[in-house]
Amino acid sequence: MGLQSNKQGNIDYLNNYGLDAYNTAEQIAAAMEISVDKLRFLAFNGKTSTVSHYIHFKTAKKNVGQRIISAPLPDLKRAQHWILKSILQKIEIHDAAHGFCCDRSIVTNATPHVGAEVVIKFDLQDFFSRISYQRVKGLFQSFGYSPAVAAIFGLLCITAAVEERELDGKTYFVELKHRQLPQGSPASPAITNIICRNLDRRLMAIADKYGFTYTRYVDDLTFSASAENVKHISNIIKQTQSIVADEGFAINQEKTRILRNSQQQEVTGIVVNEKINISRKTLKSFRATLYQIENEGFEGKHWGNSGKLIASITGFANYVAMVNPQKGAEFQEQIKRIQKKYEIKHSSENQ
């Protein structure tokens, strides 16, 4: 795609969102403090290229399977971060969204469901990959940018699944399927939250209709209700499936859960039966791991999927502190003792 001068966008829309107007590739490049050639290089969308702007790798999912992460290289990451700060963070999102939002977290996502008689959980299947280039381009157009300018922003925020192939001594990165939103980009979470505004609005409407509470954390949808409204569970499930499909997403049926108060109810990993907390089983296991590390050393010990043990236990202790400050502080102090005992200066060391 050539990056040429574009027709002017909708100034009224841009002003309404508090966004600066950009009508040409030159203006975008100047705002990003890069050359037009660099902008063209980063937004290049040919079917094959001797350069990839991403590092693609796989990580284990919480339960089963693997998740593909596409991490942008520094130049593209800076451009995506500029889009995040200059455009995306100025767009208001729905109150039901709690993932990757300022002043919101897994704690604020779980808290509204504390003490409910029933909790219903849905998972959006292949969430990021269902957000296509055309959808992202359309999002930028909805802010008031011209189609050509929106295309530039869309190309900077989207990637494709690729396969490395060798030909005549050169490495080529060949696209395998349609362009999609990458997990690993600093702009992707904000894009999902903005795209999901209508989904959140519609799901909140049915929650209000039937006396339920609704929140969303990235691809996790949660509804909850008191005993008097449990009779509406089937309506919530049926209408949620219909709305999700209508909004261009799909529910992973295998992960749908209906949890009664007599069971342990977890929302984004936080127990919500009576108050927000981490499960006793998990805390007990973590406490035992720290005890073993402190008394026996690091050899043969592990926590989580990361190969960096100190980083993993520090991260989990910080997570506990978000939910239960007192327990979290105890774990954090114990980790400090471990670091001091084994003379570890940086929590990112691979131990």
Taking only the tens place, the pLDDT of each residue in 121-145 is: 999 999 998 999 999 999 999 999 9
If pLDDT is split at 50, 70 and 90, which confidence band does 188 have?
very high
User: How many C-beta atoms surround the C-beta of residue 228 within 10 A?
Assistant: 9
The proportion of the chain whose per-residue pLDDT surpasses 70, expressed as a percent, equals: 88
Helix axes 25-32, 147-157, angle to 10 degrees: 40
At 240, give phi and psi (nearest 5°).
-65, -45
Q: Which has the closest alpha carbon to 187: 344, 32, 59, 351?
A: 32
Highest mean pLDDT range out of 55-69, 102-116, 170-184?
102-116
Q: Which has the closest alpha carbon to 76: 169, 157, 168?
A: 157
Taking only the tens place, the pLDDT of each residue in 210-268 is: 999 999 999 999 999 999 999 999 999 999 999 999 999 999 999 999 999 999 999 99
Residues 6+ apart with CB under 8 A from 156: 42, 43, 76, 79, 80, 83
Give the C-alpha separation, 278 to 290, whole Å: 16
**The predicted structure's pLDDT at residue 56:** 77
Cβ(327)–Cβ(320) under 8 Å? Answer: yes
Residue 1 pLDDT > 60, yes or no? no
**The predicted structure's pLDDT at residue 52:** 78
Cβ(335)–Cβ(290) under 8 Å? Answer: yes
Strands (E), 243-345: 257-260, 266-267, 270-271
Task: With H, G, I as helix, E, B as strand and everything else as coil, classify residue 64.
Answer: coil
Sketch the domain layout of the chain as residue ranges.
11-114+130-188, 193-271, 280-349
Give the C-alpha separation, 23 to 194, whole Å: 23
If pLDDT is split at 50, 70 and 90, which confidence band does 170 have?
confident
Average pLDDT over residues 98-120: 96
Give the C-alpha separation, 351 to 347, whole Å: 9
Taking only the tens place, the pLDDT of each residue in 252-307 is: 999 999 999 999 999 999 999 999 999 999 999 999 999 999 999 998 898 987 77
